[in-house]
A = this chain, B = another copy of it.
Amino acid sequence: MSKTLQHIDYTEETELLARFSKALGHPTRLIILKYLSNQSCCYTGDLVGVLPLAQSTISQHLKELKEAGLIDGEVNPPKVRYCINQANWEKARALFSTLFKEDFKNFSCC
Contacts and interface: CB of A to CB of B under 8 A. Distances in A.
A25 B10 CA distance: 13
B84 A54 contact: no
Nearest to A26: B18
Tally of this chain's copies? 2
Interface residues of A, number: 54
Contacts of A86: 104, 107
B17 A22 contact: no
A62 interface: no
Interface of A: 3, 5, 8, 10, 14-15, 17-19, 21-31, 33-34, 36-38, 40-41, 51-54, 57, 72, 74, 81, 83-84, 86, 89, 92-93, 96-97, 99-100, 102-110
